[in-house]
Chain A
Amino acid sequence: MLRVESINVSYDTIQVLHDLTFHVDEGEIVTLIGANGAGKTTTLHTISGLIRPKSGSVAFEGADITRLPADRIVKAGLCQVPEGRRIFANLSVMENLEMGAYSQRNRAKATESLEQVFRSFPRLRERRTQSAGTLSGGEQQMLAIGRALMARPKLLLLDEPSMGLAPLLVKEIFSIVQEINRSGTTVLLVEQNARMALSIANRAYVLETGRIVASGDAKELSESEEVRKAYLGM
């Protein structure tokens, strides 16, 4: 479904991603784990079209999207929940969700998506008229996910959804991600919380200073000596 082919990405003169190659198949949860600064966010921004790779290509459902503007990539069915949530704090909860459905011109479908999001996140319905900036961290993360779901993505990219949340909330967010996947959305999950990510993913890639250093079945990886030492702290 998503094929990233040997992309090289630099900020000014510093190369951050080196010949990165990986793929996500339809229906999977794939996780990309790695330490802070490994290049996970850069990878997702490149896929979403916010950053252009110096070389290499990104293909989504067989079509080359490497040079497509970011908004067209969303219309193609690839949506991202960015790191740090990035909700529109100056807009209400409802308006944030409307912005998520920006590419959806079909009113009936947008209303249906809204109902689905409110069913998954009842808190958002209660707070729909509230300014999004006044939500708690967990609610903001739910809004960020709900906002992305409004576009009905085929592939959802999540950048560290557990960041800054209490353990109980982290659990909740991860079970929501599984729920989203079960209802038919393919997921590419970026995490520093390797343990949680590996526990829900089908496959995993380990990123170290812009290179993939290990990959494979999530379960097998979580049992491998190296990954346990470096990322699971045991």
Chain B
Amino acid sequence: MVFLQQLVNGISLGSVYSLIAIGYTMVYGIVKLINFAHGDILMIGAFCGYYAFLWAQGSASPVLAVAFAFLLAMAISALVGVIIEKTCYKPLRNAPRINALITAIGVSIVLENGARVIPFMGPNPRQVSIPEAFKGVFALGGLTISKVQVLTLATSLVLMVVLTAFVQLTRTGKAMRAVSHDMDAAQLMGISVNRIVSITFAIGAALGGAAGVLYAMNFPMINPYMGIMPGLKAFIAAVFGGIGSIPGAMIGGLVMGVAETLTKGFISSKLADAVAFGILIVILLVRPSGLLGKSAREKV
């Protein structure tokens, strides 16, 4: 029973990692950049959620409040993601990848410390006021599932289904896959690579922002550095699934979530983060291309 309980907790938490991991993997697939600022987008999404709940308190229906939180977080995050891409990464598109990677780390530091000094964010932790209707748990036999967990799973699932349909079926989605396979050939087909890269950053950041709201509902203390750990774990999830592969990121996120809760449940809470990084080391040793990733040879 404890095992099942931790499994449920893990899948719920993991679905949040999946959402974040998708952003890493999509951006990597298109511009071959590990966007280390992506975790901080989660933090921005969480703050958007915090304010959305604050403004909606008592007034609107709780469902509307949550919907408003997601819309606000996804819109602001997408905007921030695109601005970062246009100002920081686009000038480096043809530069060595290490330059872009260092820039990404720089952007991450700017976002975290920027958040510390912006008055309505600030360095001190804030308590998220989740709408009353979303507090509480369902009991199923011996299992307890919180309403927030149900919301987390449902939202993640819907977002991932919509994303998959978008990437597989729409003209823009197909162009994204074409650009990720061969940027120059895509340009020769009349695809505007700048537009596709911006859309990719927007979608990745929007999913990261939504993950921020979910994360803030699961762990309702937020602060400017809150994106670092989930960001790193989602990055590991993306590597686990095979960086560049969207289904891989989804599976990787779930695996990371379950590994974390099982470690907490059966070994030690203190070891949970160590296990995450242990997983990274093992993947890099055993199968660096990840679960669904192309082998490095094919990528060239």
Instruction: Give the interface of A toward B (CB within 8 A).
Output: 48-50, 69-71, 74-75, 79-80, 82, 86-91, 95, 98-100, 102-103, 147-148, 151
State whether B181 touches A99 (Cβ < 8 A).
no
Q: Is B189 an interface residue (CB 8 A)?
A: yes
Within the complex, the shortest CB–CB distance from A92 to chain B, in Å, comes to 9
Within 8 A of A (CB), among B139-183: 171, 174-175, 177-178, 180-182
Chain B interface helix/strand/loop/mixed: helix
Residues of A contacting B191 in the complex (Cβ-Cβ under 8 angstroms): 71, 99, 102
Q: Is B188 an interface residue (CB 8 A)?
A: yes
**Interchain CB contact under 8 A, B189 and A50:** no
Binding site for A on B (CB under 8 A): 171, 174-175, 177-178, 180-182, 184-194
Which one, B180, B186, B192, B194, contacts A99 given CB within 8 A?
B186
Q: Is the Cβ of A82 less than 8 Å from the Cβ of B184?
A: yes
- Report Cα–Cα, A87/B189, bound state, in Å: 10
Task: Report 22 cross-chain contacts, Cβ distance below 8 Å, ordered by A residue.
Answer: A48-B187, A49-B187, A50-B187, A50-B188, A70-B188, A71-B193, A74-B188, A75-B190, A79-B188, A86-B184, A88-B177, A88-B182, A90-B177, A90-B180, A90-B181, A99-B186, A99-B191, A102-B175, A102-B189, A102-B191, A147-B189, A148-B189
Nearest residue in A to B168 (C-beta to C-beta)?
Answer: A95
Give the nearest-CB partner of B173 in chain A.
Answer: A95
In the bound complex, do residue B181 and residue A151 qualify as a contact, i.e. CB atoms below 8 Å apart?
A: no
**7 closest Cβ contacts across the A-B interface?**
A74-B190, A103-B190, A86-B185, A70-B187, A71-B192, A88-B178, A102-B190
Q: Which chain B residues lie closer than 8 Å to A50 at the CB level? A: 184, 187-188
Taking CB atoms, residues of chain B closer than 8 Å to A48 are 187-188
Q: CB < 8 Å: which of B175, B189, B192 contacts A69?
A: B192
A88 neighbours in B (Cβ, 8 Å): 177-178, 181-182, 185-186
Q: How far is the CA of A82 from the CA of B185 in the complex (A)?
A: 7
Q: Are A100 and B189 in contact (CB under 8 A)?
A: yes
| Chain A minimum-CB-distance residue to B194 | A69
- The reply to whether A91 and B190 form a contact with Cβ atoms under 8 Å apart is no
Alpha-carbon distance A83/B188, docked complex (angstroms):
12
Q: How far is the CA of A71 from the CA of B191 in the complex (A)?
A: 6
Chain A residues near B185 (CB, 8 Å)? 82, 86-88
Name the residue of chain B whose CB is nearest to the CB of A90. B181
Minimum CB–CB distance from A35 to chain B (whole Å) comes to 23
Contact of A91 among B181, B187, B192, B194 (CB under 8 A): B181
A151 & B190 in contact (Cβ 8 Å cutoff): yes
- A91-B178, A99-B175 known; 12 other A-B pairs, CB under 8 Å? A49-B187, A71-B191, A74-B188, A79-B190, A82-B184, A86-B188, A88-B177, A88-B178, A89-B181, A90-B180, A99-B186, A102-B190
What is the CA–CA distance of A48 and B184 in the complex, to the nearest angstrom? 10
What are the residues of chain A within 8 A of B177 when measuring CB–CB? 88, 90-91, 95
Q: Which of A50, A88, A90 has the most CB of B within 10 A?
A: A88
- Chain A hits for B189, CB < 8 A: 74, 99-100, 102-103, 147-148, 151
Instruction: Say whether B187 contacts A71, CB under 8 Å.
Output: yes
Roughly how many angstroms separate A100 CA and B178 CA in the complex, as a whole number? Answer: 11
With a 10 A CB-CB cut-off, give which of A79, A91, A95, A102 has the most chain B CB atoms. Answer: A102
